[in-house]
Amino acid sequence: MKLHSSLLLFHVFFQFYTLSATLNSDGLALLSFKSHWTSLPPLINSTWIPSHSIPCSWAGLKCNSFHHVIFLNLSYLDIYGQLGPEVANCTQLQYLDLSYNYFNGQIPYSFTNLHKLKYLDLSVNLLNAPFPNFLSQIPHLKLLDLSYNQLHGSISTTIANMTHLRELYLQFNNFSGAIPSSIGNCTQLQDLYLNDNQLEGVLPYSLNNLNHLLNFDVADNKLTGAIPLCFSGCRNLQFLDISFNDFGSGLPYSIGNCTALSQFTAVKSNLVGAIPSSIGLLIELSILRLSENHLSGKIPSEIGNCESLTELHLYSHRLDGNIPSEMGKLGELRDLELFSNQLSGEILLEIWKIRHLEHLFVYNNSLSGELPVEMTELKNLKNISLFNNMFTGNLPPNICFGRNFECSEYGNQSASRKNTSGCWKMHNSKKGPS
């Protein structure tokens, strides 16, 4: 009986071994890679079958005509465990996406064997290690996404070797130290996201070598010094966010060279000085957020040339003088926020005729004059705050904004409400009938 049982076990083992042994090297590498996981997604468990001769029908991958794996996408599968080095034995891989899982630990050095890899996405995991400078040995890498992990240390100067890189996403990690000037060697870069780290020092001048750069985000770091990314290198730049840093410098006049800019955000970045008149050269600009800095002087009239603007935030500064009438040319403007400055004079009629306005906040200034009846024509208005100014006269009669109107604050000023209609009272109270 014992002999019979032993022979049966041997037969089962031999049969499994024979079937597994027929699996090609890429399939065996993936099975070994899987052995490092502490949880197996049902999709993987049901399709990664060792008895197959090739893995090309397995979930998440594609093969070339020689049955070598060239594409592996295991994103959003809630895989727990470590990144085993064996996946790098699939040396023909061109695309590797392991994002949105729970991989922890380090990125294996064996990834340097993936000489044909063009796309590497390890974002939104639990990787905890220094910057993997050895990835610069992957010669044809075009996209590298390590965002939303727990990676730390400095960004290696070896990044200079990644000359084919077009997209680099390192945001939401714990990287520290300076942005290496060698990043200027990555002249094919189009997307560069370094935001939400602990980076310090200055923005390297070599960033101006990145003539193809479209999107650049360094928000929420500890950067200081001048802002150099405003020369010939920024002509194609469409998105720029330098918020929540400590530059202690002004916006350079050469910002006007970034003529393709669509969104420019520099909130709470310790910017000083005046808003340069060259801002008017940014005719593609749709969003400009420069709030909560230390800017002073007048709002340049040239801002009226930015006729694509839908959102303009210049609040919490030391801006003075009048609101320029040229702002009336901003026909697409929906959100105008100029509160908490030292602005004076009247809000000119041109401003009240911006028909798409939804939000108008100019409170905490020294604005004066009467509020014109034309303000009642802002049928798209949802919020308006005018308090703590020096307006005079009465609010226009029958003041009734559009059906989407939510909130209005007129208090603490000289203008009287005595001629306001029941429509105003209904919108303002937010209470149902008693």
Question: Rg of the chain's alpha carbons, rounded to an integer?
Answer: 30
Distance CA 49, CA 212 (A): 45
Amino acid occupying residue 66: F
Residues in Cβ contact with 84 at an 8 Å cutoff, skipping those fewer than 6 apart:
32, 33, 34, 35, 36, 108
The residues with which 215 forms a beta bridge, in sequence order, are 191, 239
- For residue 326, how many other CB atoms are within 10 A of its CB? 18
CA dihedral of residues 303, 307, 310, 315 (deg, nearest 10): 10
Output the pLDDT for position 97.
Answer: 99
Q: pLDDT means per 10 residues in the chain (434 residues)?
A: 43 42 92 96 96 97 98 98 98 99 98 98 98 96 99 97 98 98 97 99 95 98 91 88 98 94 98 97 98 98 98 98 97 98 96 95 96 89 94 75 58 45 36 35
Output the pLDDT for position 401.
Answer: 60
- For residue 51, how many other CB atoms are within 10 A of its CB? 11
Which residue in 317, 323, 310 sits closest to 380, CA to CA?
Answer: 310
Output the pLDDT for position 27.
Answer: 98
Q: What is the largest CA-CA distance in the chain?
A: 108
Q: Are 127 and 147 in contact (CB under 8 A)?
A: no
Output the pLDDT for position 405.
Answer: 56
Taking phi first (over 0 means left), then psi (-120 to 50 degrees means alpha), and beta for anything else, what does residue 370 get? beta
Instruction: Kindly provide the b/e burial profile for residues 82-119, where b requires at least 16 CB atoms within 10 angstroms of the residue's own CB.
Output: bbbbbbbbbebbbbbbbbbbebbeebbeebbbbebbbb
- For 159, list phi and psi in degrees, rounded to 5: -60, -20
Distance CA 337, CA 150 (A): 36
> Three-class SS of residue 337?
strand
**Burial class of residue 432 in the structure, from the number of CB atoms within 10 Å of its CB (0-12 exposed, 13-18 middle, 19+ buried):** exposed
Q: Report pTM.
A: 0.88
> Three-class SS of residue 413?
coil
Residue 385 token pair: 């705050």
Q: Which helix (H) or strand (E) holds 199?
A: strand 198-201
Residues in Cβ contact with 100 at an 8 Å cutoff, skipping those fewer than 6 apart:
75, 76, 123, 124, 125
